[in-house]
């Protein structure tokens, strides 16, 4: 990956232009530091652009476990690339290790977070997480389910607060063995 640092100065200038364009006074007391705050916020919430999640998966452990591993309810915050409004919810990430190769469970959450901290589409995000895990540790299978509420649907447009978008991506035995797929979806839905 060829990192391009976030240009905070350009963000500040752009926010001043937006404030002016909507009829506000960017030099008003309550707004004077807003461009800087937004530039700092964007540096934080888009930090995944300059990070390679594959590097997170390089540390594996040998453990002869070939049964399902599921991390549920990973808090997820991302920005819809169409409106630059947040979507947020939970990711559920599962895999079945092979060849005695497991990964630290925190890595599953970190991969999720790294891909989420980019301008995103939920559908792409789901596939990126599944592909990263599948391609780096070569498990018997991977399943990723994301449930998220999109602010572009709740505060504008159709205005349907509380509606969730659910996406899934399955690889390997989760795709080819209905009973394995049923097991993981049953565990995800169990509260």
> Once rounded to an integer, what is the mean pLDDT over residues 104-118?
97
Active-site positions? Answer: 80-83, 122, 150, 152
Q: Is position 80 annotated in a ligand binding site?
A: yes
Q: Is position 83 annotated in a ligand binding site?
A: yes
- pLDDT of res. 99: 83
**DSSP 8-state secondary structure symbol assigned to residue 108:** H
pTM score above 0.85: yes
- pLDDT of res. 60: 84
**DSSP 8-state secondary structure symbol assigned to residue 90:** E
- pLDDT of res. 175: 97
Would you say domain 8-45 falls under CATH 1.10.286.10? yes
Q: Is a pLDDT exceeding 60 seen at residue 1?
A: no
- pLDDT of res. 77: 98
- pLDDT of res. 17: 98
> Once rounded to an integer, what is the mean pLDDT over residues 107-136?
98
Domain boundaries defined on the chain: 8-45, 55-189
| In the chain, % of residues over pLDDT 90 | 88
> Once rounded to an integer, what is the mean pLDDT over residues 153-163?
92
One-character DSSP codes across 155-189: SSTT--TT--EEEEEEEEHHHH-HHHHHHHHHHHH
Q: What is the pLDDT of residues 15-50, one digit of tens each?
A: 999 999 999 999 999 999 999 999 999 999 999 999
Buried b (16+ CB within 10 A) or exposed e, 76-106: bebbbeeeeebbebbbbbbbbbbeebbbeee
> Once rounded to an integer, what is the mean pLDDT over residues 70-90?
97
Q: Is a pLDDT exceeding 80 seen at residue 160?
A: yes
- pLDDT of res. 79: 98
17 strand-pairing partners: none
> Once rounded to an integer, what is the mean pLDDT over residues 93-113?
94
* Average pLDDT along the chain: 95
Q: Is position 92 annotated in a ligand binding site?
A: no
Q: What is the pLDDT of residues 55-72, one digit of tens each?
A: 999 878 899 898 999 999
Would you say domain 55-189 falls under CATH 3.30.1130.10? yes
- pLDDT of res. 133: 97
**DSSP 8-state secondary structure symbol assigned to residue 48:** G
């Amino acid at each position: 990956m060829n990192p391009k640092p976030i240009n905070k100065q350009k963000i500040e200038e752009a926010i001043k232009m937006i404030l002016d364009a909507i009829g506000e006074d960017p030099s008003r007391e309550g707004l004077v530091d807003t461009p800087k705050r937004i530039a700092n916020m964007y540096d934080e919430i888009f930090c995944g652009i300059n990070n390679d999640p594959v590097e997170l998966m390089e540390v594996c452990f040998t453990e002869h476990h070939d049964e399902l591993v599921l991390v549920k309810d990973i808090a997820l915050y991302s920005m819809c690339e169409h409106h630059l409004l947040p979507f947020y919810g939970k990711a559920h990430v599962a895999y079945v290790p092979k060849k005695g190769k497991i990964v630290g469970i925190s890595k599953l959450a970190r991969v999720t977070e790294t891909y989420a901290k980019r301008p995103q589409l939920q559908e792409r995000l789901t596939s990126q997480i599944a592909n990263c895990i599948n391609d780096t540790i070569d498990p018997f299978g991977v399943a990723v389910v994301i449930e998220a509420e999109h602010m572009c649907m709740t505060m504008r447009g159709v205005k349907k607060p509380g509606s969730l978008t659910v996406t899934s991506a399955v690889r390997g035995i989760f795709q080819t063995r209905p009973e394995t797929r049923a097991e993981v979806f049953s565990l995800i839905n169990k509260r």
